[in-house]
Structure 1
């Protein structure tokens, strides 16, 4: 608007994430705001309470996405073979029926299986989850998930994220109660003995280089407690970093991890016609210590990764506005 302030609030699954705010400078001769004039923050401003009462146009509720997740697994356990390889294409139906809710139903389609066993070579269900996210006052996000996860686990997962007034700093916590499950094709077996896992940590973001450092204390699926450190640099279409971890009764372990955005980078939707897209990004975590027993965990959603978790970071968004 001419000579008026403007605020754009970005929603994810109808839950507010960040706002971009522009306030014209008195005497400014520039007719319109440039990218560098926008302030990006978790602060939504006082107008959000009024804006959320206005009827929405082109809401994403009840609209279906079919997201195809490529999955690559590698292991080096045989001295005469460099790597054993498993490659899957795993399409997932994702839809939201109310604010903050997401239903995900996935099927795993093996494309290439060299050394991962008979069951891994069969078409079988993947994630089947019901997830709910709410934003609370003081920049607190809470996400609860029920259903079938990866790593042959099913159960419940609860996550919390809080960013401070200095938005470079944040704390997070996570707790899960899960049991074992196994698919042999579409035949499902499950266990009833539950295991509790949890994590509590702090994060620091260095805006100049878009580098994120995090330190966590965690409890893994076998009950061992440990410490984990991650150092990740985020780029427009990739996130690359290193991790190190040490748990009681286990050798120190670590490695590198990366996520890479998959083209196309922009998607269009036509009404309620299901939209078919590749996953926004794919990645690999390399286990340098070749640890197979300790440090085990799970993901509660197929799109859960370091790149997606940073996608609404205000400093990252601001850097993209300046470098576009």
Structure 2
């Protein structure tokens, strides 16, 4: 039967189009809700001060990426991000993964999978599995367009540096105290440029050169992550301990992530600053360290054993035991090298306040350094066992900051 009345035909056609449009919009409603949830979660994290924040989703899981630039402690910052995502960013009937970055390089992931049969995802911090494993979606993560990029943003960090020695019978300690501001900036993924200035505040017994304002660390470093969970960093420039040259370090956790192996190689020469004039010896020395570590989760205690070649080319072994807390790390060490008596002591690193800070766009952020540490040489060894620190930020707390077991303990105890 045909409708001869054109108005009736037009009416039916209009109704058909309207129904199709309604059905199409109805199909899009869930997708729109998911997009709004992911985007709003990302925006909230950006407002809190997190950088390199983004998200993606496939049929199996939703993935968030973020870099903690808002809290001094990685454990605290990651815990805060988990709270936000649990509150407003979990997908229904689907897994969720959080990939944590450091200078745009993936470090660890936190994975949550709802219990089968649950209609509403109600996650708690204890439900997240923390691991170096990034999952199958890591290929999709590279395509995520992140918000609040960390590139080209400048941090001015003031490092308080204290040194003391007990060598004079008539004096308890000779002391050197510097305030050493450093400019740190990343110009591309994984890269960090550091320029430091040492400003003497008090010098008693450390020589006339330490009375003058002079450069400290002047370095450029490149971090990277290779297949099979191999982490690496190469640093070139002027280090501490009057050393310049190039340093490379690699680490790999095993399948049981409490265990890890590491290798460090250095090729350095000796140089010192007389104000802003550098005096250096072109003779270069090759140093190395190779070893392994074990992390005891119950007490957040790390055991490290390594064979090492020191700056004066003596070979030896070194053992350390370090207990990590939220705002400090305390440890003991012992070492023995050929031609030298055994030596040891203790060391600690303290996270300096404020513990929360925020950056305003590209305005340089000025703050104290992340932490301050001291190594005590109980054997009073003055010649052997010399080492250097390649970057200003290298320390025992920083080395442990992305340990999955330590992050898990922070999630449970925060």
Q: Which residue number in structure 2 is paired with residue 286 of structure 1?
A: 376
Q: Which residue number in structure 2 is paired with residue 46 of structure 1?
A: 136
Match of 1:8 among 92, 98, 113: 98
Structure with greater proportional strand content:
1
Match of 2:333 among 243, 258, 269: 243
Q: Which residue number in structure 1 is paired with residue 149 of structure 2?
A: 59
Could you tell me how far 1:27 is from its partner in structure 2? Answer: 3.8
Name the SS of the counterpart of 1:19 in structure 2: strand
Name the SS of the counterpart of 2:196 in structure 1: strand
Pairs within 5 Å for 1:8-27: 8-27=98-117
Name the SS of the counterpart of 2:377 in structure 1: coil
State how far apart, in whole Å, the 1-side matches of 2:106 and 2:188 are. Answer: 14
Match of 1:196 among 286, 289, 298: 286
Q: Which residue number in structure 2 is paired with residue 126 of structure 1?
A: 216
Could you tell me how far 1:97 is from its partner in structure 2? Answer: 0.7
Conserved? CA contact 2:114–2:121, under 8 Å: no
Unaligned residue ranges in structure 1 (runs of 5+): none
What whole-Å deviation, never above 9, does each CA across 1:103-127 have from its counterpart, x for those lacking one? 0000001111111111111110000
Could you tell me how far 1:163 is from its partner in structure 2? Answer: 0.6
Pairs within 5 Å for 1:49-198: 49-198=139-288
What whole-Å deviation, never above 9, does each CA across 1:263-315 have from its counterpart, x for those lacking one? 11122111100111111111101000000100001000011000010000000
The 4+ residue runs of structure 1 with deviation greater than 3 A are 27-31
Q: Which residue number in structure 2 is paired with residue 32 of structure 1?
A: 122
Match of 2:349 among 259, 281, 299: 259
Pairs within 5 Å for 1:213-228: 213-228=303-318
Report the TM-score, using the length of structure 1 for normalisation.
Answer: 0.98
Higher alpha-carbon Rg: 2
Conserved? CA contact 2:92–2:120, under 8 Å: no
Could you tell me how far 1:51 is from its partner in structure 2? Answer: 1.6
Greater displacement, 302-311 / 31-40: 31-40
State how far apart, in whole Å, the 1-side matches of 2:317 and 2:233 are. Answer: 23
State how far apart, in whole Å, the 1-side matches of 2:142 and 2:195 are. Answer: 30
Could you tell me how far 1:29 is from its partner in structure 2? Answer: 7.4
State how far apart, in whole Å, the 1-side matches of 2:377 and 2:209 are. Answer: 23
Q: Which residue number in structure 1 is paired with residue 74 of structure 2?
A: none
Structure with greater proportional helix content:
2
Name the SS of the counterpart of 2:298 in structure 1: coil
RMSD, aligned α-carbons: 1.0
Could you tell me how far 1:4 is from its partner in structure 2? Answer: 2.1
Q: Which residue number in structure 1 is paired with residue 363 of structure 2?
A: 273
